[in-house]
Structure 1
């Protein structure tokens, strides 16, 4: 599987979670960018040009701009709307999942704590789905 060119943006305000994800994603030969708040995440997506992420792993509860709004803004902008978003959050109520998938148009909604191997399956699935659409 060719993933050496895939760039993943991890957005979470918890440095321990960011580090856990970064280490595991880099071990899977992905390039990882990091943002610790919603505004920084949008800046990285909008200003990266050819270095835009191929996938975003996004927490919901973030400083400055929450994950719902970040995802919605990305999905509303035509040139970046095809970037898949995996919501990874501690909000595990059924209504949270509905809001995460429908209101923000996220592609997947996963709850913490998550087994890294399960997350990697979703990463592979999201990237292969995106690559098949191109």
Structure 2
């Protein structure tokens, strides 16, 4: 409710996606760094605010960088698949990390690293129209 309109007003979509993605990275990194009760809800709040902001601003950014307006429906369909496909693969990948790479702490580390890579990938997106 705040990030989307603010990103539109400032025309700084990439910055908002980067910051919100880094918030998710921080929220995933907190549990293994400090597995205490006060840190857990703080990490959850940081992560959910970051994720919500990312979802709202990311879709707006996608519409700004589509290669051709007349193919927008097709391209947004591909974006939707790219948005949901990891939800199919992640449980399997996560179970492998937990079983073979060190349990749940390793899962948080892997999630944090993947989130960081995703955050940095926004830097490769070309500017909107």
Higher gyration radius (CA) = 2
TM-score above 0.5, yes or no: no
Give the structure with the higher percent helix: 2
| TM-score calculated relative to the size of structure 2 | 0.28
| TM-score calculated relative to the size of structure 1 | 0.28
